[in-house]
Structure 1
Amino acid sequence: MNGAISVVGIGADGWDGLPESSRRPLRAAEVLIGGPRQLDLLPAGDCPGERIAWPSPLRPAVPGLLAAHAGRAIAVLASGDPSFHGIARTLAEAAGDPETAPALDVHPHPSSVSYACARLGWPLEAVDTLSLVARPLDALRAALHPGRRLLLLGEGPETPARVAALLREAGWGGTRIRVLEQLGGPAERLLDATAADWPHARTDALHVLALDCVRDPGTLRLGAAPGLPDEAYEHDGQLTKRYVRAATLAALAPAPGELLWDVGGGSGSIGIEWMRTHRDCRAIAVERAPERAARITRNAAALGVPALRVVTGPAPAALAGLPAPDAVFIGGGLTAPGLLDACWDALPAGGRLVANTVTLESEALLADRYRRHGGELVRLAVSVAAPVGGFTGWRTAMPVTQWSVTKGSPEA
């Protein structure tokens, strides 16, 4: 491809494992870019180009590195399939305008995940894959479900021990961990133990972790659907309760890649469960009380969505400068001057707004907006069976008034 940057996947078997179609751009390259381990796999006689190791941190250095060698034949080395949690995405994003940027000529090699499934006899399409490279380890928590098989792309030799420690702390110590090292190469090796008994402080840096998830007896069950048990949260009473939370998430209707503003975050439950619906969902929790903001951060980490962003400050002032949301939830502070207008104005056409309240004053505001903008106004009442002397009766929680609406045209 004329003017293209060649991106070549290579495995632990090195040059010998590459087909001729992948060797060709490496031979022709004037500049070879990759990690030191990958560059060392290329024979100097076959690949005479200038060799440049990626600096650290890698991502911010990519645009400058490409610009410095513009006009030269560039080949970038990657582990396995460059388009699967690999450098191809970074290159595409860093190259700039896709209409004017050089194309990527990608030569995939079998990924470590493909090798791992082949060794384990697992069907690739039935396995969840999570990269831990440059990501918080707490993100693993959201993927833990009984009987699930997970493949984790490790970041370094300490990753398996850190994963085992997290599993023990989270109540998943019975999970079987298999570490597959140097897949496809002559030094391939398998390590096998449970998280509770994991004996290895370090492993080979080039590895994949395979987990057979087992929840320990007594560990709280956290399902995949919104409406987690209230006990899953650290809170001071400012918590959207389980059944109302499930109805609220249904009204917000999260979709992959969308951004939620959780205004008046409290304990963070709405933003957290929005993000748990899909790994690409994003959320910003806005909370005026610093101690509650810190609690939101802890809850987000404990429930597997450490990427939830927390903004500390009063709304609507704290909303200024935030990226435009796809949906907004207002769980508190409805009577703050200008809050409803600020949230409504921030939404694009097609954006959703959901607001909950238990007070008559805020209910009057929602009724007025319902008359002006339409949508749906509902009252949610939940009763729970509780002891009444020697008998059982219904204990009714305060009813919640909920307004949900989808914004129409920009002038609506």
Structure 2
Amino acid sequence: MIARHESDVVVIGGGLFGAFTGLFLARRGLRVTLFERGLIGAEASATNFGNLRLHGRSARQYPLSIRAQALWESYEALTGETCEIERTGHLYFARSDEGAQTLRHDVATAQRFGVTSTLLEGDQLHARYPFLAADIALAAFSPRSAVANPRLSTPPVARALQRAGGQVYEQAEVTAVEAVSGGFVLQTRQGHRCAAPVLVNAAGAWSGALAAQFGEAVPMFSAGPPQFVTEPLPYRLHPSVHMVEGDVIVRQIARGNIIFSGYPRTHSQPGGAVTHVPPFKTLRGMQMLARAIPMLARAEVIRVWSGVEGYLPDMLPVIGASSTTPGLFHAFGGSGGGFQIAPAVGEALAALIAGEAEVPMLAGYGIDRFAGAAEVSGKIHREFDALA
């Protein structure tokens, strides 16, 4: 039996971009239906490091990032639940001259947008953070930056969407999308048929195929960082610690486990089904971690994983209206930084869809910036393995 739905907006994708967009639309009184081919929040939204960082953003992204941080700080009020958000602060350190230059630039950029980020050098740095290796001479601390448990972050948003009147379907893979007069008609493999005047493409690393269907091919590719977690250890690492050059991103949770992420990221398998972590990357990660924080040299790794994340060459997401199809909106390509900005992406896109006003913070994120660029081109950042 086919289940039929009539909605104002249908969202494809149950990650944070899709769930927050649906939530803010439903709270405006719109009828929202969200389809997720697997489980809510089970892909990139769940497998990332969990950073809520306000340091190291591009100047273009700070308006979104600052608004998003305020929404994360009110997450419990928004959803009625928690996802282990902790304002640990983030400590960034540099090992190279190039890294030091980047760090100073990032501090200046953060301060320009009113975000506190303080440089620490030499004896002052090591008196405050004695766990850092003695040869690290420059760091910066961003006190408002925080962390969350990514595995717990998306389901509460989806449940809040349902309480606001939205419909959420898991294990509902969309197999056909057709633009018709006045909107779109969708069919799922499980028998749902949904019609709506507005369609939101928030299918994560798989969004490119849907965009291409409407004549908007983008040079997106799928990858994920090598990540691992150690045995529980005495709790000594209070801030989240980041190496500017990207080789070490590490934090300790209250239970004592050390969570690690780092570069270079690994490209996903063909079709984007999975991203493997080669064993040498785990070994290299432990070596880099021990160099930066010697007290962790003998930590035992107990689990390794990665995710399937969508990346674009400019390392910025696509957010906004389609350039070819009225009623179609995109929200995908978080490019490794999408977790933190997700609440603001959803809020801003909902305002755009509802036609409430201009949304300046979405300027520059349109899909039209990739018009005619179907292949990955230009400089690929050092944090990725070379493209095959």
TM over 0.5: no
Length-normalised TM-score, structure 1: 0.24
- Which protein, 1 or 2, shows the higher relative CO under an 8 Å CA cutoff with sep ≥ 6? 2
Length-normalised TM-score, structure 2: 0.25
